[in-house]
């Protein structure tokens, strides 16, 4: 009987051993990390000959660079949108412009990969060395496949340190293919936290996952840099700016200067509307007057000549996008400013279309160079920030211009529904939005000296812009009782006449005072007023009392 059971026992043992081996093999297979390498051609995507993948920080881009011999080229749009927006393509001149704080540089495009700018099959490429000349970046170039990893963020970057030599994997999980191995002590850029894995990136272009237990805590790291870029300097006033715009429509009006400013107190800058575009070629019309400037200087006021884009039949976009036209305007402005003794230029280009944004910024950069060569202050006027005006790029303006002026009015305007021209919450929100982009010491808040008398008749809404004294006269003539509207911080009145409803949100001593107080509240560079002649003579002391 024992002999009969021996074969059966052997079979059972064998089955058990096979099962045990299978189970152990399964467990080992399941819990042993794979060392399989990720196919990098698949990881970075298919590329044509001499193309290079571009990794920007912690993101793989769809666009491709080009490798030509020992030169590396990146697409202009990648550079402009992500690394340095000051490279400006001059289409008519087939050249790349770069405005430093002190000079405008030119780099002609070539049809061959032998220069800083390569025009290849209709696409503009910039050489890596040209980019690094003006841009603080680190670049890591690798082969098989070709790829260029660019790092351009070095301040307070989220990082983690590798505690133990490990792998960066394509996805979270030990069975995910390996992208690269990282040594103990390696500093990785932190991207995203998951349950057991963290998404990280290496400086040289691998973006993947590492087990959380292999990493230290997330820290904010500032990397030391040796890049020495030229910095913008400022021409500013030692005291808070108190600017009033002086609308002058004809040269003869300059002779009224003494009368127009007779009741002014506290103003240290006057900005006459002397210049406007005459055509798309960059010629300007000027009614500037040296005598006016001399009189202003005798009164202790600086003079910033204003140029606007209000001329009909002149396309601001066409003018701004033409390098020769921009240079023509700048040349004429600087020549006139020097001839009449101006202290600054005020740029008032309004209603800019989105496609004009980049050209407008280039105009400011080029104008700033010449202004500062001639010791002229450059200021630029802007609407209150809205989503649809983001192309004005306030951050870049704040770097280039000496002063940025927020025109805190036209919340409601001719053609809109009835309402305040400049309610306090709307103005204050605009200042707060501006301060996210512009240092307070370069931001000037402009207030209106006008209001609108709104008329609603038969369902139609119209309005007229009127000055302070005229508004008070209307209130008196119609015996209107006004009250302080806490929502707008203005005195409000309404009345009926000839089947018409009239409404008015007054600009007066009370409303101007609360807006002027925003200057010290936010430590702004100063205040501006539109326009001379709309004010009540007592308003000047109100402004002086509240901006300090």
Model confidence pLDDT, tens digit, residues 212-255 = 999 999 999 999 999 998 999 999 999 999 999 999 999 999 99
List, as one string, the DSSP characters of 333-394. Answer: HHHHHHHHT-SEEEEE--S--GGGHHHHHHHHHHHHHHHHHTT-EEEEEEEPP-GGGGGG-H
What pLDDT score does 26 carry? 47
Nearest to 301 by CA among 334, 359, 256, 341: 341
**For the whole prediction, is pTM greater than 0.85?**
yes
Q: Give the number of residues written for the chain.
A: 548
Describe the strand order of the beta sheet including 483-485 as a list of residue ranges.
Answer: 460-467, 450-457, 500-505, 490-497, 483-485
Residue 410 — pLDDT band, cuts 50, 70, 90?
Answer: very high
Model pLDDT for residues 496-516, shown as the tens digit of each residue: 999 999 999 999 999 999 999
| Strand, helix or coil for residue 463 | strand
What is the chain's alpha carbon radius of gyration, rounded to the nearest angstrom? Answer: 33
d(CA 523, CA 527) in angstroms, rounded, equals: 11
Kindly list the distances between the CA atom of residue 222 and the CA atoms of 55, 164, 187, in Å, as whole numbers in the listed order.
Answer: 21, 23, 12
- Coil, strand, or helix at residue 376? coil
CA 193 to CA 490: how far, in whole Å? Answer: 50
Distances (CA, A) of 362 to 216, 286, 439: 45, 23, 21
Q: Are 202 and 187 contacting, i.e. CB atoms less than 8 angstroms apart? A: no
Tokens 């018409």 sit at which residue?
A: 500
Tokens matching residue 113: 């990969």
Local confidence band at 517 (pLDDT 50, 70, 90 cut-offs): very high
**Tens digit of each residue's pLDDT (9 = 90 or more) over 48-104:** 999 999 999 999 999 999 999 999 999 999 999 999 999 999 999 999 999 999 999
| Cα(355)–Cα(387) distance, integer angstroms | 15
Task: Decide the pairing of beta strands 95-99 and 104-110.
Answer: antiparallel
Position 6 pLDDT exceeds 80: no
- Report how far apart the first and last C-alpha atoms of the chain are (Å, whole number): 113
CA–CA distances in Å: residue 244 to residues 157, 261, 284, 299, 301: 44, 10, 23, 14, 10
In whole angstroms, what is the distance from residue 21 CA to residue 23 CA? Answer: 5
Q: Check the CA dihedral 370-372-374-379 and report its sign.
A: positive
pLDDT value, residue 32: 81
What tokens does 38 get?
Answer: 């990720």
What CA–CA distance (Å, rounded) separates 394 from 435? Answer: 9
């Amino acid at each position: 009987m024992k002999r009969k059971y021996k074969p059966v026992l052997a079979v059972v043992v064998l089955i058990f051993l096979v099962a045990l081996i299978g189970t152990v093999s399964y467990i080992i297979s399941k819990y042993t990390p794979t060392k399989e390498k990720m196919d990098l051609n698949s990881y970075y995507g298919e590329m044509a000959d001499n193309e290079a993948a571009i990794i920007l920080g912690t993101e793989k881009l769809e666009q491709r660079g080009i490798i030509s011999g020992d030169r590396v080229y990146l697409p202009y749009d990648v550079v402009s949108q992500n690394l340095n927006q000051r490279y400006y393509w001059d289409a008519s001149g087939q050249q790349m412009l770069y405005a430093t704080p002190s000079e405008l540089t030119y780099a002609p495009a070539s049809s061959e990969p032998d220069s800083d700018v390569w025009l290849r099959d209709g696409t503009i490429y910039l050489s890596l060395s040209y980019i690094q000349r003006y841009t603080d970046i680190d670049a890591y170039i690798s082969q098989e496949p070709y790829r260029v990893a660019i790092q351009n963020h070095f301040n307070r970057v989220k990082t983690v340190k590798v505690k133990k030599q490990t792998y960066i994997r394509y996805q979270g999980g030990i069975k995910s293919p390996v992208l690269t191995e990282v040594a103990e002590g390696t500093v990785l850029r932190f991207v995203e936290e998951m349950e057991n894995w963290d998404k990280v990136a290496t400086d040289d272009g691998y973006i993947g996952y590492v087990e959380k237990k292999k990493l230290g805590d997330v820290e904010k790291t500032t990397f030391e840099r040796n890049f020495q870029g030229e910095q913008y300097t400022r021409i500013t006033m030692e005291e808070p700016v108190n600017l009033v715009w002086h609308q002058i429509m004809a040269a003869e009006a300059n002779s009224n200067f003494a009368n127009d400013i007779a009741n002014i107190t506290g103003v240290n800058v006057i900005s006459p509307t002397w210049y406007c575009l005459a055509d798309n070629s960059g010629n300007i019309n000027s009614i500037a007057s040296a005598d006016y400037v001399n009189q202003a200087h005798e009164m202790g006021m600086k003079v910033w000549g204003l140029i606007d884009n209000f001329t009909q039949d002149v396309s601001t976009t066409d003018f701004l996008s033409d390098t020769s036209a921009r240079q023509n305007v700048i040349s004429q402005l600087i020549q006139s400013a020097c001839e009449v003794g101006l202290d600054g230029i005020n740029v008032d280009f309004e209603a800019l279309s989105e496609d004009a944004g980049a050209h407008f910024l280039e105009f400011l950069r080029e104008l700033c160079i010449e202004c500062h060569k001639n010791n002229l202050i450059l200021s630029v006027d802007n609407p209150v920030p809205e989503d649809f005006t983001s192309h004005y790029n306030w951050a870049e303006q704040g770097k280039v211009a000496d002063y940025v002026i927020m025109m805190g009015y036209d919340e409601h305007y001719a053609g809109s529904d009835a309402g305040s021209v400049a309610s306090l919450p709307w103005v204050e929100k605009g200042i707060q939005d501006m301060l996210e982009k512009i240092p307070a010491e370069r931001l000037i808040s402009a207030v209106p000296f006008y209001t609108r008398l709104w008329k609603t008749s038969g369902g139609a809404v119209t309005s007229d812009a009127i000055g302070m004294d005229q508004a008070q006269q209307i209130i008196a003539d119609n015996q209107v009782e006004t009250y302080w509207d806490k929502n707008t911080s203005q005195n409000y009145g309404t009345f009926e006449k000839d089947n018409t409803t009239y409404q008015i949100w007054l600009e007066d001593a009370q409303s101007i005072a609360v807006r002027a107080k925003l200057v010290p509240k936010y430590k702004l560079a100063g205040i501006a007023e539109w326009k001379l002649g709309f004010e009540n003579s007592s308003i000047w002391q109100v402004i002086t009392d509240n901006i300090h």
